[in-house]
Structure 1
Amino acid sequence: MIMLKVENLSVSYGMIQAVKDINFEVNEGEIVSLIGANGAGKTTILRTISGLIRPSKGIISFQGKSIEKETSPKIVSSGLVQVPEGRHVFTGMTVMENLELGAFLYTDKKESETILATIFERFPILAERKHQDASTLSGGEQQMLAMGRALMSRPKLLLLDEPSMGLAPIFIREIFSIIEEINKQGTTVLLIEQNAKMALSIADRGYVLETGKVVLEGTGEELLGSSEIQKAYLGG
């Protein structure tokens, strides 16, 4: 079943067209990766899906309903949640307060406590540091916090924008293994990444973007084996 469908999506910043007639879809239960160099339009696509930017044309359907004119809070409450590039944890607030903010749309305290327990199980370091200011965490720990905060809002589809950016290799491996685990437990994932090798190695399917257009698509395995991808992104 198609969970997210993007049709003929175009996005402009003034005279500059950042995204040009893009089409792609994400099926329920998949990990789908969008890869491409800086400036390819990856973040713009995610921000448009999340309702933070309005498209100049095109349709975005989530679970069969058109959402391109909806507000961000409405989109989040429907089950589509983004972890932004650069993590954006709330400094001056504890780890616990950051996580609680993820559940701001929900009033069922018991359910929130159950989800919090599973997040602490998945990210034990957050449990250890729950009373610490979020700004004192390392980059990898802040990424875990940003993902944990997103999971507090019960996403059906999780949008991840460059989760490995600026992280040490040991944290990158850990983050990608957490993404796979989140997916196995029932959350569909749309992943935007510059680390093409890691992104495609966990993806069911992928799309390659160049200057705002989709230029290649296929399974993660097919794209990893493609000579064009090897040359452009994997140093082959």
Structure 2
Amino acid sequence: MLTVKDLAVNYGAIQAVKGVSFEVHRGEIVTLIGANGAGKSTLLKTISGLMRPKAGQITYLERPLDRLSAPQIVRAGISQVPEGRHIFPGLSVQENLQMGAFGQRDRAVFNETLQTVYDYFPILKKRRTQDAATLSGGEQQMLAMGRALMAHPQLMLLDEPSMGLAPIFIQEIFTIIQAINQAGTTVLLIEQNARQALKIADRGYVLASGQVKLSGSGAALLANPDVQRAYLGG
């Protein structure tokens, strides 16, 4: 579904991603793990069209993404849930969700998708008229995920969805990610909580210093002694 081949990305003079290659197959949950500064978020931003690669290729459903704009990439079927959530303060919960559906012109599809989001996140329906800035951190993360779902993506990119959340919300977020995937949305997940991410992942890649150092099934990486020492506290 998604192929990243020999991708290199610079931040100014700094090479943040150095020849990274990986694949995401339809229906999978794939996770990228690694320390801060490993290049994970840069990869997602480049896939989303927010950054441009210096070299390499990104293809989605056999279509090159490298030169498409961010709105074109959303319309092609890829939505990102950004690190830090970035909900729109001053807008209500439902207005934030409407912003996620900016490309949707079919009212029936919009209403159906909105109901699906409220089914995943009942608390958002309860708070739909509330200013999004007044939600808790966990509720804001749910809103960011719901907003991405409003674009009706085939592939969802999640950047650190558990960051800064209370443990009770972390488990709920990962359960919902699995439910979204089981309903047909492919997931590419970046997550500092490597143990939780690998538990739900079909496959994973370990990034270090802008390069892929290890790859394998989620279960195999969980059992890998090097991964345990570096990322799982074992």
Structure 1 length normalisation: TM-score? 0.99
User: Which of 149, 166, 169 is equivalent to 1:168?
Assistant: 166
In 2: Cα distance, 1:208 partner to 1:177 partner: 22
Note the residue ranges of structure 1 that are not aligned, 5 or more in a row.
none
Q: Name 1:119's counterpart in structure 2.
A: 117
The answer to whether residue 122 in structure 2 is matched with residue 131 in structure 1 is no
| Equivalent residues in 2 for 1:95-114, closer than 5 Å | 95-114=93-112
Amino acid at match of 1:144: M
Q: Name 1:150's counterpart in structure 2.
A: 148
Note the residue ranges of structure 2 that are not aligned, 5 or more in a row.
none
Q: Name 1:75's counterpart in structure 2.
A: 73
- The Cα RMSD (Å) is 0.5
Q: Name 1:11's counterpart in structure 2.
A: 9
* Number of residue pairs matched by the alignment: 234
Q: Name 1:220's counterpart in structure 2.
A: 218
In 2: Cα distance, 1:29 partner to 1:227 partner: 28
Q: Name 2:43's counterpart in structure 1.
A: 45
Q: Name 1:178's counterpart in structure 2.
A: 176
- SS state of the match for residue 71, structure 2? helix
Q: How far 1:118 moved relative to its partner?
A: 1.3
- SS state of the match for residue 73, structure 2? helix
In 1: Cα distance, 2:12 partner to 2:96 partner: 35
In 2: Cα distance, 1:168 partner to 1:178 partner: 16
Structure 1 segments of 4 or more deviating over 6 A? none
Amino acid at match of 1:163: P
Amino acid at match of 1:75: I
Q: Name 2:157's counterpart in structure 1.
A: 159
Identity of aligned residues (%): 62
Structure 2 length normalisation: TM-score? 0.99
Amino acid at match of 1:182: I
Amino acid at match of 2:118: F
In 1: Cα distance, 2:119 partner to 2:74 partner: 24
Amino acid at match of 2:190: I
In 1: Cα distance, 2:128 partner to 2:148 partner: 16
